[in-house]
Amino acid sequence: MELVIFDVDGTLVYSERRDSQCFAQAYEQLYGRPFPTLDWHQFPHVTDTTIFDTVIRQHFDRSHDPAEVQPFQELYMSLLRKKRQSQPHLFCEVPGAKAAVERLDQKEDRLIGIGTGGWQQPAALKLQHVGIEIDQRLFSGADGKVNREAILQQTIDRAADINGAPVTRVVYIGDAVWDVRTTRNMQIDFVGIRRRGDLEKLHHAGAEEVIQDYQDTERFESAIARARPPKEIS
C-alpha cells in the first residue's frame, strides 16, 4: 500500500496570502497587538501552533494557553468564511488539484492523506471551498503539534492502522522549502509543486521532482513514481 500525503496551502489551494492576512487579523483583534510578520521563514517551525505560540511569547513573555486556541480558531475561521463569501474568485485550487486527488483516490493500492502545517478545521474549510474531499481519518494538522514531522508521522501512523500493516511507501506533495526540509529529515519521497513556475526554488533546496501543477496527468503520475527523498545541500 502506497500513501500519498498532500500539504494544503500552496499545494492544493492558494489565496495569495489572504488566508495569512486573516490569521494576522484574528490575532490583532483578540490581542490588540500588531502581528509581526507574514514571512513564515521567521518562525522556528512553520505550523499554526508554533506561529501562534511564538507571537504570544514575543508580546506577553509567556507560552500560549491551550484554551486560547479555540477562540482564536473560531475568529480566524469566521474571517476566512467572510473573505470567501465576499471574494470567492480569489481563493482557488491549484490547477488540476481536485481532479488529481480524485484520480489518485480511485486506486485500490493507494491511500490519500493530508499533512498540513495549519490547524485541521481551518484547513478543511479551505479545501471545502474548492470541493476537495479527503478521508478525515487521514487528515492531520498542527493541532497540538509543534513541527511538521509530527504532523506527517500522525498521517503515516493512521494509514498503517487503516491498512492493518505499515504502508510500503510514502510520498509527500508540498510547495515550500520547509516541506523539502521535513521530508529530507524523515527520508520520505517528495514531489514539489510550484504554481508560479519557479521550479528552481525547490530544486535548489534539494528536491528532485518538481512540477508546476496537476494538469498534466502523466507528468504528475511520473513524478510520483520517480520521487525520492530530497538531496542533502552543502
* CATH class entry, domain 2-14+92-226: alpha beta
- What is the torsional sign of CA 138, 141, 146, 148? positive
What was the pLDDT predicted at 140?
A: 98
Residue 175's nearest CA partner among 191, 159, 193 is: 193
Q: Determine what percent of the chain is predicted with pLDDT higher than 70.
A: 100
Mean pLDDT of the chain: 96
* Inter-residue contact 229 to 221 (CB < 8 Å): no
**Helices (H), strands (E): how many in the chain?**
9, 8
Task: Tell me the pLDDT tens digit for each residue of 82-100.
Answer: 999 999 999 999 999 999 9
pTM > 0.85: yes
* Distance (Å, whole) CA 204 – CA 213: 19
Task: Tell me the pLDDT tens digit for each residue of 50-84.
Answer: 999 999 999 999 999 999 999 999 999 999 999 99
pLDDT reading at 175 higher than 80: yes
CB contact set of 201 (below 8 Å; sequence gap of 6+): 177, 194
CB contact set of 74 (below 8 Å; sequence gap of 6+): none
